[in-house]
Structure 1
């Protein structure tokens, strides 16, 4: 049995003791003895976070990240479950790859892995993958993330097939022809810097098309990393019409804008790109009014050498799964409230996936995180578990850091 002393429940200042046995919460404030006792140091217990959109780079890109480093980083960030994207080498479009990933991750004792599989073979957009077999192997979502689905008929077929299997399709919604070779948001900043821009219309046009396909098929569509005010309005209008569409927003699109690219630092190069402050404000409003369904990170690690290339050549992606929760707490606790932030990163993604909503009551799975909502820490990328030891927020002071993460009753992370 595991005992966690000196912890609080969210919204309370009372120190309590949490007991865990055989992978489940046995109860609070019991008189039982325990084989292992940990000091929660006055932290607050919340359900372990759920990440629906992370790039763990295995197989084939392990110089950037692998399951061990990525799932360790996730646990350090307070995450208990991670959905990995399939744009690896080879692409996760074969049941044997799904099974191998799950088997390897289960043996690590870190955050739990739930792989997404490619919607189309090789993410080519030309032929559906063996979706039923992929689901049987353990895939929990279908997506060609990293590539946009240019063929509308293929997306229709994928949505219908996934719907028959009870799983959703998640899309990277950008019109590739409008995006073209854009490396940042198209607007006054890109014009001033002389850099090719990616217009907001590229996202909005594709979201509009995909919403109509979802409305036509009645199948569930999830829009990844939504970044623009206009696309958000389209989702809002579609929801009012009863279209089965959901969306996620990433903390980097809430906290950074295209102004950061004036530094010419490729750490800020991400797809979809950082937009304007008006877009960031609209996304926050979407969190407040419920249009945005959940928060995801789109954790996308690259080597330092890759991110040190010039903006035209460097790959897209920001890696920060270890500090997403403290970043949200520090920036938005006063606006959103800690309880809503927790919900957006736990219960909300669980509902989207059709999973049981996490809770901390007797008999619930022992997936939880202890967070320090008060102590401030400086972001030091050299301490990251991720192989991507660089971040746009290096040197910033944040609060809300996870100090202990328990997954399936096992300690997956403990901060020194």
Structure 2
């Protein structure tokens, strides 16, 4: 029994638990309103949400830079922030590594000295060994003698990650670390960061405003709305089974249609009868959610096709987004099209649905400001 308990404790040693976190600034309303979040040991969770939703406040409280008004932050069995002012472990004692925006390296220190900056009480041989190990891990072996100004932006972010990982933290916090990188560098650095985190086994939280970055990088994505987690799920579950239309439209392009239930498995919409992926749970009317890749362009005279007019075409190379104004529907719909484009703005087209939709209670789309 003891062996099983010890094994479970080891497996959960770096698990992050945030429970009932509340925080207000001055006379303003609360920024965090009882936020809950759990990140399993070794997982990378992305925290995603619009401006002002509380992402940065959450990160600063977990790091120890801010005191919460209420709630608990725990890593494994260690309580870092307790109810009220009762428990507040200082940042330097939390075993939490920070990767800030733009690296924030010390410009007067070499790469090696930047990496070892947080290693207190470690002898010289171990510092050297740890530096070499971390730089090799982030793909910068042999760069220890260079100065920060001699590195590219992507290399500086890798050094910042090595510095955060060198003290072997239980938790790593990444505050929009790829924001300053151009698009050509971003994907490669994200892959390197993810690989390094997995190699060390550290639990990590990535704060980002980039939906695609969150979906493509994280093991879990927590969407924050008005100071609470609206939904936390794997990227695939979040995209395919969003909690409501707000979440659906925030994490990707969504087609939201008014729908009336015809049977337990279908709903009538401006695009015709749409199969439902789950029973309507007592709803008779609501919003039917589809994704743009579930729509197909077809002959406007085809049986069962909704008729419309192409209003815009955005070509991206690997695919295109075709916007269609559908007869009988106020808002235009976006259709993701792969392969050669055969339509132009102003042309009539038909639209049909492939696959099942999800029926939700009426709900608006989010403010997309990030």
TM-score where L is the length of structure 2: 0.30
Which has more helix, going by share of residues? 1
Structure showing greater Rg: 2
